[in-house]
Every structure is written in C-alpha cells, then in structure tokens.
Amino acid sequence: MKNSRFAVAVHILALTSHNPREQLTSDFIANSVNTNPVVIRRISGKLKKAGLLTSHAGIPGVAVTKESSDISLLDIYKAVQEDNEATFTMHENPNPDCAVGRNIQAVLDNKFDRAQKAMENELAAQTLQDVLHDLFD
C-alpha cells in the first residue's frame, strides 16, 4: 500500500509558505492537493503537533511557524510518520527450515536500517526552501 502523507504534508507546507499572507483553509488546500479536506485537516494536525503549522480559533486557515529554510524535509517526514511505522518492513514468518528463510530477517534488517539512515540523511540535507526553489525558479 502506498502512503502519500509525506508528499501531502510537503504540499501543504509549500502552499502555505508560498502564500503567507492568505488564510488558506483546508478546502483551499484540498483543492490544490486534489483530495478531501478531512485528509488535509488530519495531516495539518500532525504538522501542528510537530510545531510546523499554527492556526487560531475562530480564524480560518493555517500558517507556517518557521522560515522555509529552517524546515528540513526530515522534520516534515517525522511529523507525519505514524508511531511504529517503518519505511521498510520484513515479511512475517519466513521458514526457519530454509537456509534463506532462517537468515533473511537478520540480513534484511541490517540493509533496511542502512537504507533508512541514508534516506533520513538525505531528507535532513534538504529544506522546504529547496522545494519552493525547485517549484518556482
């Protein structure tokens, strides 16, 4: 199953950063993402909890809390990851009587950990500003 929360979160923050003086509602953002406003509200809630977005009671819309150059893609990724959700997961119950099945989990756990760290290092090196630059320059 594909998970697009991260991409939608970057979209929300890019749109909000690009329009800082506008009160962007979940309906407006949902139209840009081409999804349901409920999806936007759920992901925006995670971004608020992480301190990347803010809103005020009685005032429609959200605002980014930091400069786009101070928000790494890793910050966004971590904000929308579900608890205990791994990017790479092992299939369950490989056959212990098989030479591959007996050892595959330990081998792949190591490979998956290295891949996860490499991905997180790359996301840490890129910012929301980099995304905005690529979108508009």
Helix axes 37-49, 73-80, angle to 10 degrees: 110
pLDDT higher than threshold 60 for residue 1? no
Helix axes 5-18, 73-80, angle to 10 degrees: 130
3-state helix, strand, coil in the chain (%, to 5): 60, 10, 30
CA 42 from chain centre, in angstroms, equals 12
Percent of the chain at pLDDT above 90? 79
Residues in the chain: 137
Q: Specify whether the backbone of 25 is left (phi greater than 0), alpha (psi in -120 to 50) or beta.
A: beta
| The residue type at 72 | S
Provide the terminal-to-terminal Cα distance of the chain, rounded to the nearest Å: 33
pLDDT higher than threshold 60 for residue 121? yes
pLDDT higher than threshold 70 for residue 96? yes
What does residue 8 show for φ and ψ, rounded to 5 degrees? -65, -40
pLDDT band at 66 (very low <50, low <70, confident <90, very high): very high
What does residue 108 show for φ and ψ, rounded to 5 degrees? -70, -35
pLDDT at 85: 77
What does residue 90 show for φ and ψ, rounded to 5 degrees? -90, 140
| The residue type at 37 | P
Inter-CA distances, 134 with 21, 81, 129, Å: 21, 24, 9
Question: What is the pTM (predicted TM-score) of this model?
Answer: 0.88
